[in-house]
Amino acid sequence: MMLMVIHAGTMTENHATPHRDAQPSSILAPRPPARVRVWVLVVAIVLAFGAGWGVAHLVTPETPTAEPEQGATPTGEPEEVDTQDDSAFVRVANRDLEDFEDDLDDVETTLDEDGFWRLLTNAVELNYNTSQLLGHEAPASIEGDWADGLAQLEKDVDAIEAGITSNSAKSIRQGVADARNTIEGLRGVVARVD
């Protein structure tokens, strides 16, 4: 009975008893579901990145470049290599092979930590590094061996991705070991440059 009296008192205009109008309006306002707020936040972040990317491309002046040769496909953002100076190729190839090896270390660390989603980003990084290596024009003295090594490296990355897809740590580790062997072989090819 007491509960009904208090409830009835909150609905009347009697200022001697507390009522709902005394509470701040933010408490009474319906709150949007948490999902809506999260989606709004995600959309805002994506739009901010997109706007930043667009502004960066508008602000950065593009420099004219020479047209690529027939059959050359630019992938990634490989550094321009002077074909007359083979030491430039050696420098950028060794740098990118080192980056690739660092990403293989990341894959093994992720496996040890049992992080599936991070493995997906590791696979993207490996593909990016492979595209950088493919973008370098090898000197004529090693061109065939360089291309063969990169073809094998692509197969190794495919094996790693297949292991990730099948959620097989053993397959991923085998793919990483094979990729390391291929990287060592490519280092030997680069070392042959005069």
pLDDT number for residue 74: 46
**CA R_g for the chain:** 30
d(CA 152, CA 175): 11
Q: Provide DSSP, the chain.
A: -HHHHHHHHHTS--TTS--GGGS-HHHHSPPPPHHHHHHHHHHHHHHHHHHHHHHHHHHSPPPP-PPPPTT----S-PPP--TT-HHHHHHHHHHHHHHHHHHHHHHHHHHHHT-HHHHHHHHHHHHHHHHHHHTS---TTTHHHHHHHHHHHHHHHHHHHHHHHTT-HHHHHHHHHHHHHHHHHHHHHHHT--
pLDDT number for residue 114: 81
Indicate whether this model's pTM tops 0.75.
Answer: no
Confidence of residue 158 (pLDDT cuts 50, 70, 90): very high
Confidence of residue 64 (pLDDT cuts 50, 70, 90): very low
2-15: average pLDDT: 49
Domains of the chain: 86-191 (1.20.120.290)
For the chain, give the percent of residues with pLDDT over 70.
56
pLDDT number for residue 67: 47
pLDDT number for residue 71: 46
pLDDT number for residue 37: 56
d(CA 130, CA 34): 41
Question: Among 25-39, 66-80, 178-192, which is the least confidently predicted range?
Answer: 66-80
